[in-house]
Chain A
Amino acid sequence: MSFKIERIPAPLWARPLIPLMAIVLTFVLTATLILLANANPLDAYYYFLIDPLSSRVSAIEVLVKATPLLLTGAAVTFAFVGGYWNIGVEGQLYAGATAATAIGIHMQNVSAWIAIPLMLIGGFVAGMLWALVPALMKVKLAIDEVVTTLLLNSVALFMVSALLNGPWRNPISQWPQSPDIAATAIFPKLIPRSRLHLGFILALVIIVILWFVLTKTAFGLKMRAVGLSPHAAQFAGINVQQTMLISALVSGGIGGIAGVSEIAGIHYHLIDAISPGYGYTGIIIATLGTLNAWGVALAALFIGLIDTGAQTVSRALGVPTYLGDVIQAALLLVTLGMLLLQRYRITRTRSES
């Protein structure tokens, strides 16, 4: 008896079930670690999935955690749909955060109606610029973008570190921390006495725009065609280079907005730890959301829940918070494998006689 993989697409109704099945399988796999930590997996999953939603404070915190993830998830999706493998959202986020800080600290005596749009534009442009070189190398010279975008992530971190150890170093405390942005440049809070800020609304707007562009516009159709097969798209008369360039740059711009949102909504100054890897988590979210705008939104909220839950699990059961990171990584790998079920079916065959 052996197994054979056949190219049989799954029926349409079954496709949204695949990420759900992946979530269940991931939880089953990671139960081993929870047992190793001398905790009951069922208790852990209660604290992961239910407890954060049972109080108003922690439910709002889930939305706070989901905000940068909605943005990086959207950024990654915009590139991946267009067949551009932008692994550099982390660096684009730092570029956007740097621009937001540079603009924000000079916004004393400027109205919020000017300061906030200026920071958003600055962050978007900075993210685009950070994405520009690999994108041009891809479309003009056919140089694989995976490695170039990845390497620029490290460069972005060094750039931020150089700024924080140099011109922006706090002169009194000597901490590597930039001056605070002006009060008018700070994103307004959506709910008083919470951390939920304007960035969450912005992120939702960007998700809606993502959905609209991908499904309702001619450009979205072109992007998907290029993503499926650049050669076929070329035959169909689509300008592949231009389409790919735009998806790469817009992706970088959205990554930049994620940086603006973290600066203006959470930290109010630049530190080198503004992102614990949101750019990479964006790849998890885009994959789990099957490159679909609503899927991305749900996936970002789910990962926000896991992030919040990891802290609850740690407090209640003494399981290290890093369990949340392991679950997210395992979820990415399991989803990646299970998405094959969209296109293939595994069948058992009798061994040849």
Chain B
Amino acid sequence: MIEATFVTFLVGLLGATLRVATPLLFATIGELYTERSGVLNLGIEGIMFLGAFVGFAIAAKSAEAELAGYLWLGLGGAIVVGLIMGLLMAFFSVTLGVNQHVAGLGITLLSTGLALFGFRMIFGQSSVLPSIEPFAQLSIFGDLPILGPIFEQYLLTYVAFIVLLPLAWWLLYRTNYGLELRSVGENPEAADAAGVNVFRVRYITLALGAALMAIGGAFLSLAQLGAFSPGIIAGRGWVCIALVIFAKWDPIRAMWGALLFGGVFALQLRLQLLDLVDIPFEFFLALPYLVTIAALALAGRNVAYPGAYLKAYRRE
């Protein structure tokens, strides 16, 4: 009897871990690519927020107009707005070459302000949060005994782990684009001398990276919640900034980091409900940040930042 309860608990926990890790994996891969090209994009928190909002707003309005693929239209809108914010970040960090962290925070503040402004404009100040019928969970192995619930996931979760992750690894380490990307992030002068267009590679990478961040945000509003609220991202973007460092800028390690955080987060929620331990749940929420800072301190001077991290490139 006790074993059965424990197995149910564990299966539920694993399923929830994958769900929590999904938006983090999308956005972390986006930030990881961006940083590998030599740019820190602190716009991530705001871009996730704007992606969540634009995805939701388009989906809600399309659903009202009774368009069949309203969720996909929302996701498409989130990707477009992500690309735009990525290009804006590239304009500041690549073309103008201003302070990346200040520009990134500016992008976060701008995206957050725009999303909240848009939310009020479109949905007014109603006390009931507007909602939509979100993406359904697939049950590919649903009839599997015991383990079935683990595989009951959203399509985007499958995409994140089975398509995005291998693709991100292959693109980074096995293609010409990946080589160019890593070279402009390590040594832009040498890359330039070798005929790589540093500006173009960074522009493409920042746009793609920000689109992934926006998908991560839209996963929350279009799949997990079916709603949008001002607290929807709640620092997940900053978690991704920590995960990229934790992952030492490697996609596979980023997956383990996202799963680890997802697991701790899901466990924390369950322990809170059970009221078993006397540790404040906030401690678990702060854990990824503290672990990252500790990992940085322990690695000390050996932290392998991309060579051109935070450095603008000017041809002079």
* Residues on A facing B (Cβ under 8 Å): 7, 33, 36-37, 85, 87, 133-134, 137, 141-144, 146-148, 150-155, 157-159, 161-162, 165-166, 277, 280, 283-284, 287, 320, 322-323, 325-326, 328-330, 332-333, 336-337, 339-340
Q: Is there a chain A Cβ closer than 8 Å to B309's Cβ?
A: yes
6 A-B pairs, CB-CB below 8 angstroms? Answer: A153-B238, A154-B238, A154-B286, A158-B286, A159-B282, A322-B113
Q: Is the CB of B296 within 8 A of A148?
A: yes
Rounded to whole angstroms, the CA-CA distance of A276 and B101 in the bound complex is: 20
Rounded to whole angstroms, the CA-CA distance of A326 and B115 in the bound complex is: 9
Given known contacts A37-B121, A85-B101, A144-B309, is B242 in contact with A151 (CB within 8 Å)?
A: yes
Stretch with Cβ within 8 A of A (4 or more), from B58-66, B176-184, B287-295: B287-295
Given known contacts A162-B280, A336-B92, A337-B92, is B310 in contact with A144 (CB within 8 Å)?
A: yes
Rounded to whole angstroms, the CA-CA distance of A134 and B293 in the bound complex is: 8
Determine chain B's interface SS by DSSP, over half rule: helix
The residue that A328 contacts in the complex, of B109, B292, B293, B296, with Cβ under 8 A, is B109
Q: Is the CB of A325 within 8 A of B113?
A: yes
Q: Is the CB of A328 within 8 A of B113?
A: yes
Given known contacts A155-B289, A161-B282, A328-B113, is B105 in contact with A283 (CB within 8 Å)?
A: yes
Rounded to whole angstroms, the CA-CA distance of A309 and B112 in the bound complex is: 19
Q: Is the CB of B282 within 8 A of A33?
A: no
Given known contacts A144-B310, A337-B92, is B117 in contact with A165 (CB within 8 Å)?
A: no
Given known contacts A133-B293, A151-B241, A152-B289, is B113 in contact with A144 (CB within 8 Å)?
A: no
**Least Cβ distance of A344 to chain B in Å?**
9
Given known contacts A154-B286, A280-B109, A332-B109, is B101 in contact with A146 (CB within 8 Å)?
A: yes
Q: Is the CB of B113 within 8 A of A151?
A: no
Q: Is there a chain A Cβ closer than 8 Å to B99's Cβ?
A: yes
Q: Is the CB of A33 within 8 A of B117?
A: yes
Given known contacts A143-B300, A151-B289, A155-B290, is B102 in contact with A330 (CB within 8 Å)?
A: no
Contacts A146-B310, A320-B116, A326-B110 supplied; 4 other A-B pairs, CB < 8 Å: A143-B300, A151-B289, A287-B102, A325-B109
Rounded to whole angstroms, the CA-CA distance of A277 and B297 in the bound complex is: 27
Complex interface: chain A residues within 8 A of B301 (CB) = 141-142
Q: Is the CB of B297 within 8 A of A137?
A: yes
Complex interface: chain A residues within 8 A of B101 (CB) = 85, 87, 146
Q: Is there a chain A Cβ closer than 8 Å to B166's Cβ?
A: no
Q: Is there a chain A Cβ closer than 8 Å to B303's Cβ?
A: yes
**Least Cβ distance of A321 to chain B in Å?**
8
Q: Is there a chain A Cβ closer than 8 Å to B107's Cβ?
A: yes
Given known contacts A151-B241, A151-B293, A320-B117, is B110 in contact with A333 (CB within 8 Å)?
A: yes
Residues of B within 8 Å of A, CB-based: how many? 44
Per-residue CB contact flags for chain B residues 271-308 toward chain A (1 = under 8 Å, else 0) read 00000000010110110011011001100110101000
Complex interface: chain A residues within 8 A of B106 (CB) = 284, 329, 332-333, 336
Q: Is there a chain A Cβ closer than 8 Å to B40's Cβ?
A: yes
Rounded to whole angstroms, the CA-CA distance of A55 and B193 in the bound complex is: 62
Rounded to whole angstroms, the CA-CA distance of A146 and B235 in the bound complex is: 16
Rounded to whole angstroms, the CA-CA distance of A78 and B205 in the bound complex is: 34
Q: Is there a chain A Cβ closer than 8 Å to B245's Cβ?
A: yes
Q: Is there a chain A Cβ closer than 8 Å to B96's Cβ?
A: yes
Q: Is there a chain A Cβ closer than 8 Å to B232's Cβ?
A: no
Rounded to whole angstroms, the CA-CA distance of A148 and B289 in the bound complex is: 9
Residue of A nearest to B242 (CB): A151
Complex interface: chain A residues within 8 A of B96 (CB) = 336-337, 340
Rounded to whole angstroms, the CA-CA distance of A162 and B282 in the bound complex is: 6
| A-B residue pairs, 5 tightest by C-beta | A325-B113, A329-B109, A320-B120, A329-B110, A326-B113
Residue of B nearest to A33 (CB): B117
Q: Is there a chain A Cβ closer than 8 Å to B254's Cβ?
A: no
Complex interface: chain B residues within 8 A of A137 (CB) = 293, 296-297
Q: Is there a chain A Cβ closer than 8 Å to B260's Cβ?
A: no
Q: Is the CB of B113 within 8 A of A143?
A: no
Q: Is the CB of B282 within 8 A of A330?
A: no
Rounded to whole angstroms, the CA-CA distance of A283 and B309 in the bound complex is: 21
Q: Is the CB of A141 within 8 A of B99?
A: no
Rounded to whole angstroms, the CA-CA distance of A329 and B106 in the bound complex is: 5
Rounded to whole angstroms, the CA-CA distance of A329 and B96 in the bound complex is: 17
Complex interface: chain A residues within 8 A of B110 (CB) = 326, 329-330, 333
Q: Is the CB of A147 within 8 A of B286?
A: no
Complex interface: chain A residues within 8 A of B241 (CB) = 147, 150-151
Which of B107, B116, B283, B286 has most chain A Cβ within 10 Å? B286
**Least Cβ distance of A38 to chain B in Å?**
10
Complex interface: chain B residues within 8 A of A151 (CB) = 238, 241-242, 289, 292-293
Q: Is the CB of A283 within 8 A of B102?
A: yes
Q: Is there a chain A Cβ closer than 8 Å to B103's Cβ?
A: yes
**Least Cβ distance of B128 to chain A in Å?**
18
Rounded to whole angstroms, the CA-CA distance of A144 and B303 in the bound complex is: 10
